[in-house]
Amino acid sequence: MRWTVSGVGWEVGVREVIDGRYEISGALGAGGMGEVLLGYDVVLDRAVAVKRIAVGQFASRTDLAEEFVARFRREARVTARIRHHGVPQVFDAVLDKGAESVYLVMEHIDGVTLRDFVHGVGMLPIECGVAIAAQIATVLSHAHVLPVVHRDLKPANVLVAGDGTVKVIDFGIAALLDGSTSRITRTGSVLGTAAYMSPELVNGQDVGPRADLYALGCIMHEMLSGRGVFETRSEFDTHNRHLSEAPTPLRALRREVPAQIEQLVLDLLAKDPADRPATARDVYDHLLPFLPGPGTPESPAPAGYPDPTRIFRRPNPPADTAPEPVARRSAPGKPATATGGLVDIAARYRELCELGRFAQAAEALVTVVDEAEQRYGSHSPQLGELHRDIATAFTRSGEHRRALNEWERVETIERQVGATSRVWQARIAAVECRAILGDLTAAAAVDELYRLFGEIRAAENEFGDAAVAVRVAIAELLPAVGDQSRAQRFLTQLRDDLEVLRPPEDPVRRRVEQLAVELRR
């Protein structure tokens, strides 16, 4: 790979392997119960989030160690029971051999926390804030029906994914209300985060679903005003204000907030749970008139952040033709430690490809695209080669939509560079991806490849590498068109040409011979 020269890059090395299956390569965050790590499932070739709870630190306190293990088991079961796209899937739960750590393996979400969203933007556009609140209310409604209470709902536990969907994470201190699980919280301990704690939670009383609604009111106030409900210098003062002080109405801080939204937030922040909305569904119903309807014109989300209104403007939409991750500056799994180099990334890429882990190989290169573009330029041969390697890995992993996006970038860059043969190769690969994705019928794809073949033959001949590549692509697609005799004639001519042009061990010649056998069958 010509783009690989020494320089500053990012660490993608493996720190440890869990259960012989999950490779850990970095940290995503930390919380009261442990840390969240970026992992990779070597069996299913996909990124995962791994929540680790270290119980070894409590070895001298058996009661504490047992408590953390019990919380872990409960979290795994609770989270797995909430069947909703707004709660990341649980894939696995692992207790290490030494019983020093327990791990929860979950769906990895490429997104930004609501905390970072609010800190980066300040006051959110009202439609964005309402859309996020409505999605949180939907998740809570599914949890409360089980019934499960989150107990620590806060912006840090809310993710906004790249497609605008909201995910509620970390049900780690959730309390099952159906009595199937013994209470783990010790007398005198307070679980939760001061800025979002309901009065009953502050007082250590039993809490129900309306405690989560109070936290949602705190979140809505913060999203729409850019400031917390009660901002103090100590948790003690914050607790006291939650217990005794009335919140400032939103319209006193931001006049354009609709009066009905202001009243909803005040109702959610009522000191007495009985004075709050009865259910999360009631909250959603109050928000519904302020949500954009299907097909309404899009209003731009804050620059660099996902659009949480999209799910309402385009409900259950088809996949994007060219999906992008959340801005690379904040995307989980793309941090971080400037200890490696582009050479190290390239070596890691080759190693992963040799292991057949193509999706992970592609993601390793994605982390250094910005670095390479700054180093070499946006229309450099090195950047084109980097995108080509990413495209190749995504193609081999079966992620054809992302591969198509990369092949189109390769074509644009190589056209600027003037590398005609590489432009042809990228166009061939792009047509093949579009055919697999169904963007082109087999017949349309063959027609497009024939036009490209004519262009290549006019510029060179029909025996060069690019010409052979497009002929192989046509041979692979022709049987799907339905004209078997035409496919047989085309493949026979190609096979005869390759017998003259290429040695028997040539992989392209062997592939064409295999196609001929398959067609006869």
How confident is the model over 311-364, as pLDDT tens digits? 998 887 776 554 455 543 333 333 333 334 677 888 888 888 888 888 888 888
More confident residue, 60 or 199: 199
Helix (H, G, I), strand (E, B) or coil at 259: helix
Phi then psi for 505, rounded to 5 degrees? -85, 0
pLDDT at 95 over 80: no
Is residue 124 within 8 A of residue 224, CB to CB? The reply is: yes
pLDDT at 261 over 60: yes
- Where are the chain's structural domains? 16-107, 111-313, 342-520
Class of domain 16-107: alpha beta
What does R_g of the chain's alpha carbons equal in angstroms?
28
Amino acid at 434: R
CATH 1.10.510.10 matches 111-313: yes
Q: Mapped to the 3 state alphabet, what secondary structure does 77-136 carry?
A: HHHHHCCCCCCCCEEEEEECCCCCEEEEEEECCCEEEHHHHHHHHCCCCHHHHHHHHHHH
Classify domain 342-520 at the CATH superfamily level: Tetratricopeptide repeat domain (1.25.40.10)
* Nearest alpha-carbon partner for 48 in 436, 359, 381: 359
Phi-psi region of 22 (alpha: psi -120 to 50; beta: other; left: phi over 0): beta
CA 342, CA 162: separation in Å to the nearest integer? 26
CA 364, CA 249: separation in Å to the nearest integer? 48
Is residue 50 within 8 A of residue 104, CB to CB? The reply is: yes
Q: What pLDDT shows up at residue 56?
A: 59
Mean pLDDT of 69-94: 79
Phi then psi for 178, rounded to 5 degrees? -90, 5
Q: 227-251 pLDDT, tens per residue?
A: 999 888 888 888 889 998 999 999 9
* Nearest alpha-carbon partner for 170 in 185, 191, 156: 156
Q: 382-428 pLDDT, tens per residue?
A: 888 999 999 999 888 888 888 999 999 999 998 888 878 888 899 99
Judge whether 152 counts as a catalytic residue: yes
Q: Residue written as tokens 């792009």?
A: 430
Q: Look up the pTM and report it.
A: 0.66
* Nearest alpha-carbon partner for 243 in 229, 225, 262: 229
Asked whether this chain's domains 111-313 and 342-520 adopt the same fold, the reply is no
pLDDT at 71 over 80: no
More confident residue, 56 or 234: 234
Question: Of the given ranges (114-123, 271-280, 490-499), which has the lowest mean pLDDT?
Answer: 490-499
Active-site option among 152, 212, 344, 389? 152
More confident residue, 25 or 184: 25
Q: What pLDDT shows up at residue 175?
A: 54
More confident residue, 110 or 192: 110
CA atoms within 13 A on the CB side of 94: 18
Q: What pLDDT shows up at residue 63?
A: 57
pLDDT at 511 over 60: yes
